[in-house]
Structure formats: C-alpha cells, structure tokens
Chain A
Amino acid sequence: MGEPTAAQSAQEFEKVLAQSSTQVASFDTHDKTAVQKIQHFLHSTPAAIPFIVLIAAIVIFGLAIGSRFFSSYTLTLILQQIAIVGILGAAQTLVILTAGIDLSIGVIMVFSAVIMGNFAVTYGLPAPIAILAGFGVGGACGFINGFLVSRLKLPPFIVTLGTWYVIMSTNFIFSANATIREADVTAVTSMLHVFGISFKVGSAVFTLGVVMMVLLVLGLLYALNHTAWGRHLYAVGDDPEAAKLSGIRVDRVLLGAYTLAGLIASLAAWVSIGRNGSISPSAAVTDYNLQAITAAVIGGISLFGGRGSILGTLIGAMIVGVVSMGLNMLGADPQWKVFLTGVLIITAVAVDQWIRKVAG
C-alpha cells in the first residue's frame, strides 16, 4: 500500500486548484444584506416573529382602546381565555413537529372531560380515579392514533380524521349527550374544578389553569431542546429517513408523540372543567382541534415538521386571544376575529416558507 498524498495523486485537471482561493469552506457571515440577516435571525430564532406580532397587536389595541385594554386585569383575562387552547396547542405542536397533524385532539379532550365527569358524578367513583380514567382514555386515544401512524404507516391526516369521527360519536353514545351541571360536580368533588381556582397579583388575576399552561409549555420547551427525546422528535419531523439511518427508532418516537398529545389533551380536559364548571359532551362540535392547529401555525410551527419552538405556540394562542379580546372591546362584529385569524394563518405559513429558503 502506497501512501499517496493528495498533492501527488491529484488529477491533472485539478493542478490549478493550488492557485485557487483557499477559502473554499469558510462562511461569509459579513457580506449579508439586512434582509438576509433578518432571515437568518428568524431562522435561528423561530419564536421571534410571533413574539413581534404579539407585541404589535397589544400595542395597536392598547392605543385604540386605551387603558381599559392595557390593564393587567384585561391582559390576564386573555390568558385565562386561552389556557385550554394553549394546552391543546402544545399537544398539537408535538405532533406537528413530527410532520404529522392531529385532527382528533379536540374531541379527545371533550371525551376525556366527559369520562372524568361521568366517573365522578354518575358512577360516584373517587375524583382521583375519575381523573386517572380521563387520562387513561386520552392516552389510549393518542396511542391508537400513534399506532396507526407509526406501525400501519397510514397518513396522519387520514388517521386522525377517522379517529375524530370515531371518538366524537363514542363521546355522544357513551354520554347520551347529557350535560353534567356544575352544581352536580361541586356536590361530589372540588378536585375536578381545581384549575378554575384563581388568585390575584395586584389587579392581575391568574387561574391555576393558566399556571398549568405556562408550566407545561416550559416543561416541553426544556424536553424538546435539552433532551435526546426532543432532538429525536425534531429529527423525525425534519427527515424521517435520515433519522432512521442515524439510529433513531422513528416508529417509537411517533407513537410517543401521539400518545403524549392524547395525555396532554386530557390535561386540557381537566383544565376545561375548571374553566367551564359544567361538562358538556356537545362541546365536541367546537373546532378545538382547528384552534390548536391555528395557535401552532401562527406561532411559527412548520406544518412540514421539524421546525419551530413550542414557545411560539403559546404566543400564537396569545395572539388569537389578544385579537379576539381587542375586537370584542372595540365592539366589532365577532366575525372580524375569524377573518383576522385566517389572514394570520396564511401570513404565518408564507413567512415560514420564506424562512425555510435561508441560505448560507
């Protein structure tokens, strides 16, 4: 075996390379235009855009409405209103990061709440068991989604469209569409309403549901960025083939993501009981899943997977909350909120596409 050095054995036509620029692999970080710099910054800080939009929305409505809007009472009221969608959005984010989608997340939440309520009130079981049953059902629904997606390799959209209908109808059949009144729940236990408990900091009012939402998002933020599980979730959504060849158990990651999403939906169910007081199976017709997707998308989570920060989802939910509250206080037709949400979604996806084109 000879020891050919690169210089000796280089091809004839490559001889000229010796005189060429040696900076072949270095980075041009200096000669970028301002737009490119912004694009690069946004690329590395995915939650920045929604954050700017949120601040802008608060400032605009603050100027238009005045101190009535710009009070800690109103701003914390917005937080209370978005707690459920924020938590559901966090669940949805996990699934979207794997390049999937979970259309059933909203009905999983409603069904899980119905289970909790019926177990505690109708069957008279202790509240902790009723809550565990709710989580069990939520987790099981998520597991079924995950199983169908990861093992049977069915498209997530189709799988969760199917389970959406199945779970919604099961919810109605199981409960006979009977609402459980708040007083009936209160008579049995206070535990189901625990997330409705509020406390004041000055004029700001927080509920435990809001605290839960923030803790959940911070917990997931840590897990996604600082554990191998989180990195694998991003890698699977980014390029499943590459993830697989790198030794990641792609099917397990997917199964875990959908199951965890189901469990988080159960948490949202618990929080929703605290907020609403009563438990109504007919809430299943509300477009919670679409609201959760909206929060994630406005928050900059890429529907193509692998990109975005869960912090963005929280901010996305806040944007919708601020816009809706602001228009409300201005006395605008509520349809304008829906209109603006649509515009925001399309803008967010357009910006996502632009950021993805980052080069150098």
Chain B
Amino acid sequence: MASEPILTARGLVKRYGRVTALDNADFDLYPGEILAVIGDNGAGKSTLIKAISGAVAPDEGEIRLEGETVNFRSPIEARRAGIETVYQNLALSPALSIADNMFLGREIRKPGVLGSVFRKLDRSAMEKFARNKLSELGLMTIQNINQAVETLSGGQRQGVAVARAAAFGSKVIILDEPTAALGVKESRKVLELILDVRSRGLPIVLISHNMPHVFEVSDRIHVHRLGRRLCVINPKEHTMSDAVAFMTGAKEPPREALAA
C-alpha cells in the first residue's frame, strides 16, 4: 500500500452511558481496496461504521477523508462528501418503485417552469439512469423499473441498494452485512457486484460475519476487538481460523499486523 489512505480515523471514542463502544479506535481505507471489518458481537464494528458514515457522532477522535478533517452530523452530510452506505436493513422504502428508491432524497426535477414552479419530477430521466445503473451491474433481470421494491426478492433488493450506492458514491462505499440475509446464489450475485464495484476503482468497506465471503473478496481485514482495531491482516497470509482466533482473543495477533 504505497498510496495514501483515502479515509482514516484516529482515536475514535464513543460512549453510550457507561458502555464504551469505541475505545480509541483507528481505521484506514486505501484507494481501490476492499477492506473487510470483522469482530465479535459487541466489539464496536457497527459504531465504527456509523461514525464513518455519519449516523453517529464520535465523542472524541478525528476522521479524515482524502486528508481533510470531516465532521459528519448526519448520513446526508457523509453522502454529500461521497461516502455511500448500504445499511443492513437496506434503507429502501418498500412501497416505492425501484427508480423512486434510487433517487430518494436526491430527486431530479424537470427542466424549466415545470420543475422550478410545479416541482415536477423528471421520471423518465430518473428511470433511464436507474435502468442504466442496474444493467451496468448486471441486474437487468429486473424487468420493470417501476415495480415496488417490496415485490423484489432479498437479493434483488440488495442489488438495488448496492446499485444506488455505486451510482452515487464517488469516494467510498460501505456495505453492512450485505450477504447476511441471502441465500447461496444471491450471496454470490452480491459478491460479484462488490468485485464489480471495486473494479471501477471505488474502495469498499465490507462488514461481515461470513468468513468465507470476507476471505474471498477482501484485500485486507480489519479485526475489531473490545472497541478498537486489534490488527489488520492479509487474507492471503492468514487462515479463517486465525482471524476468528484474533477476533475472539483466543490467539495473539502477530506483531507486524498490530503495527498496521
């Protein structure tokens, strides 16, 4: 990793009452990589991701995006800065169409008076864009862009959420447990999507409990334990049982990984 990290966090602290969810946590994401974040339940992964994606404001510490210090007060601000997050619950509105969902919160209005006075949405432009993005990611098996999201299968919904993030994320994409609720085939589809997004040069943060998936697609693995980054390991140099051992405290991580 010769290049500078695109997204870094230093000394993040977040307390919820007497619970310290983040205890001086550090984080580094390099351009073009897939960084997996693993950790036991309650290790503080979610809080770390929420801090980076703007859903939670850390009590202490510093987050830098491309070297600039950022202070996100909401996911919207993070999104404006180019960080898109696919939440575990997908944050899709079930009764709205695929196109409406992709543009939720950033709709395109018609040009001219229709748009400025009557605030009319440019449905055809949004549909065209959504269709293009979905087919770019090989999701065009969805035939009707106007169908409600609730009529889609779990994998298709995940696809729509990932496509939305990939379409609008300009700097970083965060995926929280993207395969947790999916079957074997659908998981495969989503993993292919993830690799596809990376091949476009976007770095991805992947939070997952699924070790085979993590080891398959990630370039580096951030192991989170007791509210902080324990170590960063290379999936090619360690086994899944190593990772689980570090994560649960069964084994001490190697010294060089700690320094990372």
Contact = CB atoms under 8 A, between A and B. Distances in A.
Interface of A: 1, 3-6, 9-11, 13-14, 17, 20, 23-27, 29, 43-44, 222-223, 226-229, 231-232, 234-235, 238-239, 241-248, 306-307, 358-360
B89 A242 contact: yes
B139 A25 contact: yes
In order of increasing CB-CB distance, the 4 nearest A-B pairs are A247-B105, A245-B91, A25-B141, A228-B107
B184 A1 contact: no
Interface string B179-212: 0000011101101100100010000000000001
B120 interface: yes
A13 B210 CA distance: 14
Contacts of B100: 231
Interface residues of B, number: 53
> Which residue, of A14, A222, A234, A245, has the highest number of chain B Cβ atoms within 10 A?
A245
A231 B189 contact: no
Contact of A306 (B93, B106, B199): B93
Interface stretch (B13-21, B37-45, B152-160, B223-231): B152-160
B121 interface: yes
Given A6-B195, A24-B185, A229-B119, A358 B104 contact: no
Contacts of B60: none
Contacts of A307: 95
A6 to B, nearest CB: 4
Interface of B: 32-33, 55, 75-76, 79, 85, 87, 89-96, 100-101, 104-107, 109, 118-121, 123, 139, 141-144, 148, 150-151, 153, 155-156, 159, 184-186, 188-189, 191-192, 195, 199, 212, 216-217, 219
A177 to B, nearest CB: 43
Given A14-B188, A238-B94, A241-B89, A360 B104 contact: no
A358 B151 contact: yes
13 contacts: A4-B216, A6-B188, A17-B185, A24-B155, A25-B159, A27-B141, A27-B143, A44-B148, A226-B123, A228-B121, A242-B90, A246-B104, A307-B95
A3 B120 CA distance: 44
A17 B185 CA distance: 7
> Which residue, of A3, A222, A226, has the highest number of chain B Cβ atoms within 10 A?
A226
A54 to B, nearest CB: 24
A28 to B, nearest CB: 11
Contacts of B94: 238-239, 306
A360 B141 CA distance: 14
Given A43-B148, A247-B79, A358-B150, A24 B95 contact: no
Contact of A17 (B87, B104, B188): B188
Given A9-B216, A11-B212, A243-B93, 11 more contacts: A6-B192, A14-B184, A24-B155, A25-B141, A25-B156, A27-B143, A231-B100, A242-B89, A242-B91, A243-B104, A246-B101
A156 to B, nearest CB: 19
Contacts of B195: 4-6
B153 A247 contact: no
Nearest to A308: B95
Contacts of B121: 226-228, 231
Contacts of B155: 24-25
A23 B156 CA distance: 12
A227 B119 contact: yes
Given A24-B185, A25-B155, A234-B96, A226 B120 contact: yes
A246 B217 contact: no
A246 B107 contact: no
